[in-house]
Amino acid sequence: MATLIETMPTTTTGETPVSRQRPKAAGGPAPVMLPWLRAQSINVTRHAAALRPFKADEFGTGAEAPTAGHIQAVNKLITGLRSSLLKMSGRVSKSVSVAAEEPSTSRLQDVMRKKEHAHKWVRGIEKIWDFYFELFGQRQTRYAKWLLSCDRIGLDCYRAYYLGIGVARPIPSPPPFSYMATGFAPATFRRGIPLKKLGKQLNPFPLVQLPYHRLVNPWTLGAVMHEISHNLQNDLGLNKDIPRKVGVSLLKAGASRQVARTWVRWNREMFADMSGLMLGGPGFAGSLMDILARGPETVVYYSSRGPHPTPYLRMLINTELLRRMGFESESRQYRKAWMRIYPNPSSGSIPPAVLKSFSEACPIAVDAMCYQPYRTLGNRSLAKVLNFGNKEQQMIEEASRRLAAGVDPGIIPERFLIGAVRLALDRRHARPEILTKNFYRALASG
């Protein structure tokens, strides 16, 4: 078999310096080693250059486009990682130059090690770059206005809290960013936590993941307020105070440690529900019931490690808060409907101690979480910060009629429109497709 290169005198290791390789006579095979080595350096350098920061107007210039804050936060993350990659590519290039002068096995293998290390970084950064490229790219699709609407609801939730607390707090930035993920349940990824999707890098702003089936039925978007509330619990420093107060209150009232531990374990999901209900009113309860109402085996199933309250009890926790908020009729009706569907909670796996103590423990936990003052809220309670009552519900009822008629709902907080579209659907003010169209038009206009 003909050799690929014509060798010159060998080195002491028996290898031929790449720089001394020369082509065979005309018509023979071209040299391989030196061009191939140079290509490795070129590949890594071009990979690093290609994983560039995003441009300000790359995903559009309308209101639905990612904000300058979102672009800047992602670019800061990418630029930091890319800086390390550029240094690695420089080391690859230097190693290639050394090996080209004297291609000993040890020098060639040094190139390969540095190349492999750089390639792993390329793949990691590419994964992050691609993640945000897809998220931001959704803002150029037909669903952009829908996602913008959810962004505005999320921002309104933040404003309600930061205007309602009794002490000035640092303003979180950038605001939450919504995206669609078909085949998944609603979820959130909080600010500043390491994400597997980002190679364990810290998430620079809250992400709210919404499935298509929720977006197409906006009266089910109570999920937005729920997921945003997870972020607020952390941003407001309530992630430790809430479980502590709930646990202590239950123990002082005579609850067993088993029962207190259970309610403490549920605190994050319970807070997201309680906050969502006080942000959006009774319509949130209907949206939640849409999700919780499943087969009876699922509804009464108890998980000893799950963060969510057992579905059967979770709905009743929300009806208790509705009662405390002054919506006794709505509370009674939701409770009655729920217990008619699921009359026998003891048929499931809920521990007898939890089930038996629920009627006493639930009001205590709701009171501790929602009606007791917190230092981080300026010594105000959650109910005092959000202050949702009959006046706010009247605004929602008026907006529901306007949405059905296709007219401007007026200067109503964006989060109230979820309850408005829910009420319009329940009262058959207009067809579902009309309500959906008017809901997104009201939120995304301007």
Look up tokens 């350096």; give the residue. 41
**Residues written for the chain:** 446
Q: How many helices (H) and strands (E) does the chain have?
A: 18, 5
Q: Which residue has the higher pLDDT, 96 or 343?
A: 343
Instruction: Report the distance separating Cα 34 and Cα 102, nearest Å.
Output: 11
pLDDT tens-place string over residues 271-306: 999 999 999 999 999 999 999 999 999 999 999 999
**Where residue 7 falls among pLDDT bands split at 50, 70, 90?**
very low
Half-sphere exposure of 192 (CA within 13 A, CB side): 8
Look up tokens 């994050």; give the residue. 268
Both structure tokens of 211: 């499935």
pLDDT tens-place string over residues 16-25: 444 444 444 4
Widest Cα–Cα separation across the chain: 97
Q: What is the pLDDT of residue 23?
A: 47
417 contacts 152 by C-beta, under 8 angstroms: no
Q: What is the mean pLDDT of residues 381-400?
A: 97
- 5 has a pLDDT exceeding 60: no
Domain boundaries, the chain: 18-140, 141-233, 237-388, 391-444
Look up tokens 């890594």; give the residue. 44
**Where residue 206 falls among pLDDT bands split at 50, 70, 90?**
very high
Q: What is the mean pLDDT of residues 218-239?
A: 96
**Where residue 361 falls among pLDDT bands split at 50, 70, 90?**
very high
Mean pLDDT of the chain: 90
- 89 has a pLDDT exceeding 80: yes
Q: What is the pLDDT of residue 4?
A: 30
Q: What is the pLDDT of residue 18?
A: 44
Peptide linkage before 413 cis (omega within 30 of 0): no
Q: What is the pLDDT of residue 93?
A: 87
Share of the chain above pLDDT 70, in %: 93
Instruction: Report the distance separating Cα 175 and Cα 186, nearest Å.
Output: 18
Q: Which residues pair with 380 in a beta bridge?
A: 374
Q: What is the mean pLDDT of residues 154-160?
A: 97
Q: What is the pLDDT of residue 446?
A: 64
- 30 has a pLDDT exceeding 70: no
CA distances for 378 relative to 170, 277, 359, 385, angstroms? 13, 21, 31, 9
